[in-house]
Amino acid sequence: MAIQSSTVRSFLYGFIASLSTCAAVGIYILALGNSGRLEENVLSSTAIVACGFLLGLFASVPTARHSWHPIGPTTLVFLPIPIGLSMFVIWWPYFTGGYSWELLRQIGDFLFSSWVIAVALSLTGLLSLARLKASLQWVRIVTLAGGNIFAALLVVTIFGEIYGDAWGRILGILGILTTLGCLTVPILHRVSAIPLEDRVQTAKLEITLTCPRCAKSQVLLAGGANCVECKLRINIDIEEEQCRKCGYPLYKIDSAQCPECGTPIARPTSTTQGQPIGKSGSMASV
């Protein structure tokens, strides 16, 4: 799939370039057999920049798709803070010739806290893109709630210098749940899309639409197609109506109640936000 957003492309190319530079410096250090302060600082700096571009890439995708606004733009504005603090910690002793441990300790609190907040914001925006069945939405909600609570407690731990066995166990539990959720949500996103793709391929639904480029009115099959006039590539995705309670598919179900759980079915109107839809809620994109 082509990347249409210039912002997403910029962060992707920046991540690839910085990661490649970091790898090249690492290879140079290993091949040389030893390294000095300058080489170590360059290696650390390129690694920090690569992490910054990666988080920026995570934030730029929901920003480009206008999903969960303003999480994406907020992350992009916030990212220079942890990157700048990291560069200061890396290079300030190199140019001044020594460390001020008290200053580094104070900066370190802000440094680690800013990275925690940046990661939490980036993951929140990224998880917002997952298309889950109605019955699985709770997984994303629990993951986001646990992850943001975990991030907040980490910041409190850093500035409040809170220690203790019970506190550590709470952080450990939240960290495990957050990691598990971040791994589970993308899998459920993919699993939720499998039946949808199968129905698109087998239903062979025809959609009447007007090409946004040449204004040619035409009938196209659901899925991928080209405009008959200007050959513009048009993708038609079918978002099937589901029971709001149990997630049962309601395509070609004419009854007033869900056949699975008996919940009353709220039928959509003929148009939704200016886009034509059928019983399956079809939507075209180019």
Q: Does residue 15 register a pLDDT over 90?
A: yes
- Residues 260 and 250: their CA atoms lie apart, in Å, by 10
Domain boundary among 195, 221, 246: 195
Full residue range of the structural domain in which residue 236 is found: 204-285
Residues 52 and 146 placed together within one structural domain of the fold: yes
**Which of 26-30, 102-106, 139-143, 184-188 has the least mean pLDDT?**
102-106
Residue 42, domain member (yes or no): yes
Under DSSP, the state recorded for 262 is: -
Residues 170 and 67 placed together within one structural domain of the fold: yes
The overall average pLDDT reported for the chain is 80
Of how many residues is the chain composed? 286
Please report which confidence band the pLDDT of residue 20 belongs to, taking 50, 70 and 90 as the band edges.
Answer: very high
- Residues 85 and 212: their CA atoms lie apart, in Å, by 47
Residues 62 and 125 placed together within one structural domain of the fold: yes
Residues 148 and 17 placed together within one structural domain of the fold: yes
Q: Is 137 left (phi over 0), alpha (psi -120 to 50) or beta?
A: alpha
Buried b (16+ CB within 10 A) or exposed e, 77-91: ebbebbbebbbebbe
CB 241 within 8 A of CB 251: yes
Other C-beta atoms closer than 10 Å to the C-beta of 44 total: 17
Residue 69, domain member (yes or no): yes
- Residues 220 and 211: their CA atoms lie apart, in Å, by 10
Residue 183, domain member (yes or no): yes
CB 244 within 8 A of CB 261: no
Residues 54 and 97 placed together within one structural domain of the fold: yes
The contacts of residue 106 (CB under 8 Å, 6+ apart) are none
pLDDT of residue 4: 60
Number of domains in the chain: 2
Q: What is the pLDDT of residues 190-233, one digit of tens each?
A: 877 655 444 444 445 678 888 888 988 888 877 778 888 888 88
Residues 105 and 215 placed together within one structural domain of the fold: no
pLDDT of residue 97: 73
Residues 77 and 157 placed together within one structural domain of the fold: yes
Domain boundary among 195, 224, 239: 195
Q: Minimal CA–CA distance to 182: which of 124, 225, 233? A: 124
- Residues 139 and 122: their CA atoms lie apart, in Å, by 18
Please report which confidence band the pLDDT of residue 273 belongs to, taking 50, 70 and 90 as the band edges.
Answer: very low
Residue identified by tokens 């370190």 is: 108
User: Cα separations (Å) of 99 from 103, 105, 114, 120, 286?
Assistant: 8, 10, 21, 30, 56
Residue identified by tokens 């048009």 is: 234
Residue 1, domain member (yes or no): no
Burial class (CB in 10 A: 0-12, 13-18, 19+), 51: buried
Residues 169 and 77 placed together within one structural domain of the fold: yes
Q: What is the pLDDT of residues 45-80, one digit of tens each?
A: 999 999 999 999 888 888 777 666 788 888 899 999
Under DSSP, the state recorded for 242 is: B
Residues 109 and 23 placed together within one structural domain of the fold: yes
Please report which confidence band the pLDDT of residue 272 belongs to, taking 50, 70 and 90 as the band edges.
Answer: very low
Q: Is 57 left (phi over 0), alpha (psi -120 to 50) or beta?
A: alpha
Residues 45 and 174 placed together within one structural domain of the fold: yes
Q: Is the pTM of this model over 0.85?
A: no
pLDDT of residue 67: 67
- Residues 12 and 61: their CA atoms lie apart, in Å, by 10
